[in-house]
Amino acid sequence: MALTEAFTQEIDNEGVTTRRVLERVPTDRLGWKPHPKSMSLGQLALHVAGGPGHLASWAENDVFEMTGPMPEEAQATSMAEILGAHDASIAKAKQVLQKLGDKGLQDQWQFKAGGATLMTMPKSGLFRTVVLNHWIHHRGQLSVYLRLLDVPVPGIYGPSADENPFAART
C-alpha cells in the first residue's frame, strides 16, 4: 500500500471519530473554559476541526517559519461552523497528500521560529507527528472537556464509559 493511501485511510478513519466527538460539543457552552489558561470549548473545537488541513498545508513548502507570536485561536459560534471547518480540513489534508505523493512525503521539511530551526523531518514525519498525533491529542483534550461538562463522551478507540455495551446496567 502506498504511503499516501495509508495516510488517507487514517485521516478518513480519524475524521469519522473526530466528527462524533465534535457533534457532542454543546453550542450553548462554547465560551466555557476548564481553567483560565485553557482554550475555550469553542476555540478547542475549532482547533480540532481545522487542525489536519491547516497543519497539512505546512507540507506544501519545505520550510514553515513561525513569525510573531502564536495567533489566538478563533472562537466557534455554531455547530455548522465547527462541522464545516472539519469537513474542509479533512478535504484539504487529503488534497495535500495527493499533491505530494509518496515521493514528496520523503522530502525534508523544517519548522523554524525566530530564525532557529526547531524541527527537521521528512514530510511523512510531519504528517505522522504534527498532523495526525497533534490532532488526536487535541481531540483527547476535547473529550475531557465534554466529560467535565457532563456530556456523554462517544467511543473513540473502543467503548466509552457512556457507550459501553458490556457495562452492567442498573
Domain positions in the chain are 3-69+76-148
64 confidence band (pLDDT: 50, 70, 90): very high
Strand partners, 119: 111
Query: What's the whole-number mean pLDDT along residues 123-128?
Result: 97
pTM as predicted: 0.92
Query: What's the whole-number mean pLDDT along residues 151-155?
Result: 96
170 confidence band (pLDDT: 50, 70, 90): low
Query: What's the whole-number mean pLDDT along residues 104-132?
Result: 96
Is pLDDT of 167 > 90?
A: no
- With beta carbons less than 8 A apart as the criterion, state whether 161 and 153 touch: yes
The Cα–Cα gap between 115 and 107 comes to 21
Query: What's the whole-number mean pLDDT along residues 31-37?
Result: 97
Question: How is residue 60 written as a grid cell?
Answer: 506544501
pLDDT in tens, 13-23: 999 999 999 99
| Radius of gyration in angstroms for the set of CA atoms belonging to the chain, rounded to a whole number | 17
Arithmetic mean of pLDDT over the chain? 94
φ, ψ of residue 19 in degrees (nearest 5): -60, -40
Helix (H) or strand (E) holding 165: none
The Cα–Cα gap between 111 and 63 comes to 6
- With beta carbons less than 8 A apart as the criterion, state whether 122 and 105 touch: yes
The Cα–Cα gap between 147 and 168 comes to 20
Looking at domain 3-69+76-148, which of 1.10.3720.10, 3.40.20.10, 1.20.120.450, 1.10.132.20 is its CATH number? 1.20.120.450
Is pLDDT of 87 > 60?
A: yes
Query: What's the whole-number mean pLDDT along residues 40-50?
Result: 97
Query: What's the whole-number mean pLDDT along residues 86-93?
Result: 98
Is pLDDT of 153 > 80?
A: yes
67 confidence band (pLDDT: 50, 70, 90): confident
Q: β-strands 108-113, 116-122: how paired?
A: antiparallel
